[in-house]
Amino acid sequence: MSRLKATFEALKKINRKALIPFISAGDPNPEFTLPLMHAMVDAGVDVIELGVPFSDPMADGPVIQRASERALEHHTGLRKVLSIATEFRKTNQTTPIVLMGYLNPIEIMGYQTFADYAQQAGIDGVLTVDLPPEEAQECTALLKAREIDPIFLLAPNSHQDRVKKMDAIGSGYLYYVSLKGVTGAGHLDIADVEQKLAMIRQNTALPIGVGFGVKDAQTAKMIAKVADGVVVGSALISKIEANLDNLNQAKQEIIELLKSMRQAMDS
């Protein structure tokens, strides 16, 4: 059983929802990422989405764009991200890691090589923003053969047939993008999310993570009521950006935000 499946099943048994932070690997430097990952686990997160920096992050808002740019200043590309994951696995064999990014770094590395390296690095899931099911057959087959879950996005304008398609090709969990737009944008409409999740659940038994627009403990709590996992990204990365001259402070603020979310989600 994949670590993701085990994690969601274990959470379900104790009636808890997954807290899933997204950070850009290598932001603002590669040394910052590994200790932050361990600290986030200590703060109570269940899965870590590790962003693979890309020069052209088309689906991301300004906060994650700038995070990618900071990371790329130190050349934190796909290889480096995999080496960070490898380090993490030396002391943590339980928390699932999901790589999230764009297809081109994987294309250039080659699907097979990437799948092998990801397996060796202890990666549990791969979410490729610009790889919809239409084009994903080859890549997902290689990942699944190595017990790595291919994770797909669902959007507010995804119809029922899309959900069925994702259910067939995806595993681990499905990531529902709660608004039309880029990461870090807009206002979350919880009633809208609830309605949409009901339709999605009729068409899949996979756990559903919800992201885009989760900013604080309150939004995390609201999402946790209807979803299986709460993804928070831009709000965390903003803490890094606001404290570039004091990274200990950045880390502390991230941990505090995650702890407040954990508490709100569990109460």
Partner 1 sequence: MTEKYTMPDERGHFGPYGGLFVAETLIEPIKELNIAYQHYLDDPDFIAELDADLQHYVGRPSPLYHAERWSKVLGGAQIYLKREDLNHTGAHKINNTIGQALLAKRMGKTRIIAETGAGQHGVATATVAARLGLECVVYMGAVDVKRQALNVYRMKLLGAKVVAVESGSKTLKDALNEAMRDWVTNIDNTFYIIGTVAGPHPYPAMVRDFQTIIGREAKQQCLEQAGCLPDALIACVGGGSNAIGLFHPFIDDASVKLFGVEAAGDGIETGKHSAPLCAGRPGVLHGNRTYLMADDDGEIIETHSISAGLDYPGVGPEHAWLKDTGRAEYVNITDTEALEGFYALTRMEGIIPALESSHAMAYTLKLAPTMSKDEIIIVNLSGRGDKDMHTMAEREGIKI
User: Which residues here bind partner 1, judged by CB under 8 A?
Assistant: 53-62, 65, 69, 72, 75, 77-79, 102-109, 129-132, 134-135, 152-159, 162, 177, 180-182, 185-186
C-alpha separations of 65 from 85, 104, 215 in Å: 22, 16, 17
Least distance from C-beta 77 to partner 1, angstroms? Answer: 3
Least distance from C-beta 155 to partner 1, angstroms? Answer: 4
CA distance 24 to 144: 24
Pairing of strands 97-101, 125-128: parallel
Q: Cβ distance 185 to 213 under 8 Å?
A: yes
**Of 66 and 251, which has the nearer Cβ to partner 1?**
66
Least distance from C-beta 262 to partner 1, angstroms? Answer: 28
Q: Cβ distance 230 to 261 under 8 Å?
A: yes
Helix (H, G, I), strand (E, B) or coil at 179: coil
Q: Cβ distance 255 to 38 under 8 Å?
A: no
Least distance from C-beta 12 to partner 1, angstroms? Answer: 25
**Of 30 and 132, which has the nearer Cβ to partner 1?**
132
**Of 24 and 95, which has the nearer Cβ to partner 1?**
24
**Mind telling me the catalytic residues?**
49, 60
Chain CA centroid to CA 197, Å: 18
